[in-house]
Structure 1
């Protein structure tokens, strides 16, 4: 039986698990049409809804000492996130910050549950300051413990075990971060990694249980991220666990239990390790018995004897599992609905590699429908560009395959997950090499007898939207149609109009307006739209702060002179679609467009 697109969009996924002080679990779930906070006290129990908003809740975090949670929510996708506090039974919901033109990024609860930390750009739209606020205090009375003029883009990532210091990651670019320690009382900063070489990433950091060091996932002196122990006084990093050819991408610590957990990304699949930790010595616990897939959202139980994670697999929608540390046994706590679609109908992608123009091998996920074909194929470019398409659950992938399309998801150069060298191969003047990787993927596909070379669709969102538009302008003969979702159409106008806090960091990846303007104009799809030969569908959110809606308007104006173009702009959305009705309208438009043109 075939199901319509609306049914696939009703497949749910649980996310962002967070443990309460007495062992209950809260998580986000979109049962009502937008993600809200839910909680349950035992595996398989009927969950209780705690928040009731039309807007999506982005994340939630339980207090370590009280039956209450903090959570973040914006308005209409504008990303001006405000902080809220809700009681553990949902009876009291209090807005903690009320600065609708400022973005608030969560930094965590103090261990006594009395204070929260966060960064916000209230004072200057381009700068983030560090704030500490009492749990029952109004945001206007928060203490600005450090003005952000000494940072590029700081993120608070946790309180020390003694609650007197905050750990801060300062992002200079996508490939260069520093770690600092902020004294809460004095505002004094110790820049722990100031003496290290530039171009070092610290993608995940966590206080060691004793507060004397910091566990980091980093590529310092390496191409692939490993787990290290950073001395915050000297900046020295001691290796704790090597990733080998595959990066270690996350680490979390349980302070009282003296434990840590880390995740290795092996060709897109997650491997979870739990260990007792004493400095650089790890004593591994039994291997967790989890489904093969992608692990996200790690949260320690109150005693450090259990660990909650979300597992999403190609044929399994996201759910929360709880791992028993002593045995490795994992119990599924949530049962997010598949909208009545049998899981047995979901298809597993094949992990493939193909050769591109310079002899490199490009990894990709390839999912085929029933039958010998030849099938139409959707080439789905991920965003980022530092993202990675992984074997997690995608309802659209399953819909397309169930309706006769093959789906091809290449991790072109610039993708994360394959080391720093690979991730930086597309920077600035090498931008179009990534587009050439996409061309090579189409050539690999159309050499197969099960693919219809006349029915190849370019599809992608955000930076993936740029990949779609650039593919249509650079290699117009390859494509039957293109679908651009919140994509970059002109790098100059994008950089001029993106959020103030993002511009400098995006310039390090794409090129600067001062030094590279002519080059950026030359590769921008709006300036080459006369080359497009395929029909084009453009979808965008009116409130998008990352890729402003003007990008959609410009490419539609330029391309419609040459090919059929269809545009849909959603007034109450931002960088993507979070509301059920909007998702249904957007992806129904995609399905109808492909029915007409592919």
Structure 2
């Protein structure tokens, strides 16, 4: 298909400040000013692939962020009594390299903290009870931007605060029904990029009826209690959940040659759709949209629009060139992410390339913006480091693979402030191998990488690389099977744990050391190699078959890693073994494995669960009479599906935040989540029959065993009704079924007391059904 890099990202300028020159008050249509009052509504614009493009002009009030001042947190900076075992993660380092802003749950909920790299004095910068999700210190050191999730739900806000706790304000996401996501900072620190998801208006948008809430934590009765629903939840029917809008054609590297973006393996299978992951424009209905802005933390300059997308499941500004001419965006649904280079002067897309799922910070521009360093798996099985050459117009005359490995993928990419030092984290069978190297373009336009040095790690997994150079050398967020998540720094190459990170001996109570898992390699019933980690309960004999919990991760693109999991530790302490496999659809094993569950491949993913259970039984590890299955999110779906597809295999199941019926899931989830899910699970209209066949509720008559479901009351990713209807159906069939409702939680259980209640309730349930 002919490449056409134009008009991939387009929109208006409802508010334009001094951050980037552009015609004030004018919309751009195909790069030219368009005044509706003079010319009427913006016309369709021919797009790539021959589809008509509709220029989207969102109402300014619905998209442009409005700042909301908040009380300062500068005085007093009290440190609450810390948890004995706490986690520190998502660090961001100030320009001096001497201080770190990070997320820590030492107060019982993930909050924003700062502390010196080499000292132990820490300060709480935001004492609100809303969980913090991401953190970014500005390049000039004056601000710390971060996202919070009010109520623990899926709607997030972007805030900023001075490092001393003053000037705290909401930058975006304060409008009812909207959500905002953090992007990168401008290199001079004058503005930060945010993406705003507009609220979706639905007909008859009354809230669902609410029953009496339980007076305290514990099991809720789905027959008498219904948590508050988002506006319009009860009226959505699966038709108005996608974001809608223009249909995007293929965009090539912007060189003018006929080039196709490499497609994921499995194209043409049921449930695999065109690149934008949704229906053709005539089948889509207008809803919300995504708009990316540059926002001045001081509020002096009005927000500047960078991009508008309708029909994009994600839109994140990952980097800006130092001269401000170019922006690197990441867009698209799961499995079909794209990197876009956009000229900020006219909002033209000059380059597009498929990029891998996983870490959203996909790349950086070189200091002179002649090279884009990009983490991508375009036309590859595993992600590698790409060097994309860029000309003065931001278009690419070509690209090369600068660093690669044949049997594993590049998971994290970070570049130093100098632009010529890079940290490359490779995912090697679940563990991280880290190397620091030099990167530079050559006079011939080719990339040069190396020499490199390997960094010896005290943990198995690197989760974030906030700094690669400076006097601190290297700063990493790490996690491992024996330790809680923490922040480490490497002065002169020696690994040192920050004093405010949890000590190794505090990971678990005294007398119960963590269990180091061992890898297993099951084989699926169709011959596909699988993998997983087996945790053996302490003091169990080598030849003694054990009661075993098959635990299934979410995503499905997540991956089981050898990191300490308090849930597993709780189960092991009850005398239960745990096997945590990667069934097809998981990441870390190549692109073909991730795509192997698309369409009808999801039936095979359900069979993979049975194959994993059979493997641990045949290996003599697990007792076939005492097996249970457990999982959260997509793993919760697999629990329900496994119980009804294999009713005699497991004694019980624990399903947290799982989808029980794809039709009701699509009807109730967030629009941008539905947009992304359409590629992975199937389109709610075109694949209705497939989704019906894959839904556990369709086969619930086969359920034979008791089941515990767990759900956050504010979950709008997988709505609470998904657990309620499965429990209700089980009870109607005379089975014991319970719902544990976690107050003030969303899809992720973020509060320490909620996680503790979840672990203990689930462990009690499983011990009762398979340990005795």
Q: Distance in 2 between matches of 1:147 and 1:365?
A: 42
Q: Does residue 178 in structure 1 map to residue 349 in structure 2? A: no
Q: Distance in 2 between matches of 1:152 and 1:12?
A: 33
Residue aligning to 2:246: none
Give the conservation status (yes or no) of the 8 Å contact 1:257–1:304: no
Question: Secondary structure at 2:672's aligned position in 1?
Answer: coil
> Of the two structures, which has the highest relative contact order with CA contacts closer than 8 Å and spacing of 6 or more?
2
Give the conservation status (yes or no) of the 8 Å contact 2:101–2:114: yes
Change (3 A) 1:421 1:449: closer
Q: Distance in 2 between matches of 1:281 and 1:79?
A: 42
- Measured on the aligned residues, the alpha-carbon RMSD in Å equals 2.3
Q: Does residue 391 in structure 1 map to residue 567 in structure 2? A: no
Q: Distance in 1 between matches of 2:358 and 2:366?
A: 15
Residue aligning to 1:160: 321
Residue aligning to 1:431: 602
Change (3 A) 1:555 1:568: same
Give the conservation status (yes or no) of the 8 Å contact 2:423–2:434: yes
Residue aligning to 1:319: 486
Q: Which runs of 5+ in 1 are unaligned?
A: 1-8
Residue aligning to 1:468: 639
Give the conservation status (yes or no) of the 8 Å contact 1:44–1:332: no
Change (3 A) 1:152 1:391: closer
Deviations 1:296-343 (A, max 9, x none): 12112673862211110111111111134xx53222114315366249
Q: Does residue 306 in structure 1 map to residue 473 in structure 2? A: yes
Give the conservation status (yes or no) of the 8 Å contact 1:285–1:328: no
Q: Distance in 2 between matches of 1:177 and 1:42?
A: 35
Instruction: With the length of structure 1 as denominator, give the TM-score of the two structures.
Output: 0.92
Q: Distance in 2 between matches of 1:538 and 1:150?
A: 33
Larger radius of gyration: 2
Change (3 A) 1:427 1:257: closer
Q: How far is the alpha carbon of 1:530 from its aligned partner?
A: 1.5
**Alignment of structure 1 residues 66-465 onto 2, 5 Å:** 66-97=141-172, 98-122=174-198, 126-137=288-299, 141-149=302-310, 153-171=314-332, 173-184=333-344, 186-193=345-352, 204-232=362-390, 233-234=395-396, 236-256=398-418, 258-279=420-441, 280-300=447-467, 303=470, 306-324=473-491, 327-333=492-498, 334-336=500-502, 338=506, 341-342=509-510, 345-369=513-537, 370-372=539-541, 373-465=544-636
Range that drifts further, 392-401 or 458-467: 392-401
Q: Which runs of 5+ in 2 are unaligned?
A: 1-82, 201-286, 442-446
Give the conservation status (yes or no) of the 8 Å contact 2:312–2:675: no
Range that drifts further, 581-590 or 313-322: 581-590
Change (3 A) 1:344 1:584: closer
Change (3 A) 1:412 1:450: closer
Change (3 A) 1:218 1:261: same
Q: Distance in 1 between matches of 2:135 and 2:321?
A: 20
Give the conservation status (yes or no) of the 8 Å contact 1:166–1:181: yes
Deviations 1:232-283 (A, max 9, x none): 4126320111121101112111242521111100000011111111122122
Q: Distance in 1 between matches of 2:535 and 2:740?
A: 28
Deviations 1:90-142 (A, max 9, x none): 34422223224211111111111111111112376631111111121189x42
Instruction: With the length of structure 2 as denominator, give the TM-score of the two structures.
Output: 0.72
Question: Secondary structure at 2:479's aligned position in 1?
Answer: strand
Q: Distance in 2 between matches of 1:398 and 1:286?
A: 35
Q: How far is the alpha carbon of 1:44 from its aligned partner?
A: 4.9
